Structures are given as structure tokens and as C-alpha cells.
Amino acid sequence: MNLPRNIVAKYSKLFNKASVQPSKLDYKRKDKHNTLETTMLTLLKFSSSSCTPCKILDEQLSKLDLSNFNYQSIDIQEHTDLAIKHKIRSVPTLILLDNNSELKRHIGGLTPQQLETFLT
């Protein structure tokens, strides 16, 4: 099947990124002496650079103390493999993991109060 050049050019980057080896984000953190792995909850934030609600959520998250979480911000355009793995359909999406098991998921923007409730 022959596709028009403009469509091939537009989507070739996405197809090429999907064929790249999956990204390896560190979901585990070591304690301050690097001797034991501590079990921390992992907070994954899936977003896009062109997403306004994502930018608002970034500001809200920057005001919170996330030291109890292994926080990872993931751009779905750069890490399509992780977006597919975690079945991301819309951004922003927050996922709270415990030992790679999903505890909670929220899709869309949050008020500061809703965000604090989500993290507890």
C-alpha cells in the first residue's frame, strides 16, 4: 500500500520510535547508603509538551513534597513504549504503583485538594 508522502513523513517518527527498545526507567530507589532497596510508591505522570492541563499539573506537583514517592514524569511523545505498556489513552494521566502493581489511576486535571487526596 502506497501512502502519500506527507502522511509518511508526519507519522514515520512515531513508527520509528515505537520500534526502539523499551525505555528503562528506574522504578526502585535505594536508601541513602545505597545498601538496601526501599519499597516506595511510584508516581508516574504521563504528559505531553503541548498539553496545557499537563503544565498546570506540573506546577501543582512542584509545590508538593514528593519525597515519599519515586516520581517519574514521562512524555508520551518520547516514550511511546511506556505509554502503550501503561495503556495511556489521554493526558495528563497519573498512575500510582506499588511494586509495579497499579493502585490508582487518574486521567485529566486535578485541583490541589483532589491531588492531595489522590496521593494519600
Instruction: Show the CA angle centred on residue 119, arms to residues 40 and 112, nearest 5°.
Output: 145
Cβ atoms of 119 and 96 within 8 Å: the answer is yes
DSSP the chain: -PPPHHHHHHHHHHHHHHTSPPP-----EE-TTSSSEE--EEEEEEE-TT-HHHHHHHHHHHTS--TTEEEEEEETTT-HHHHHHTT--SSSEEEEEETTEEEEEEES---HHHHHHHH-
pLDDT of residue 99: 87
- Give me the sheet containing 69-75, strands edge to edge: 69-75, 41-47, 93-98, 101-107
pLDDT digits (tens, 9 = 90+) for 82-100: 999 999 999 999 999 998 8
Please say if the pLDDT value at position 19 is more than 80. Answer: no
Q: Give the global pTM.
A: 0.68
pLDDT digits (tens, 9 = 90+) for 27-70: 444 444 443 455 689 999 999 999 999 999 999 999 999 999 99
Which domains does the chain show, CATH number per domain?
5-119 (3.40.30.10)
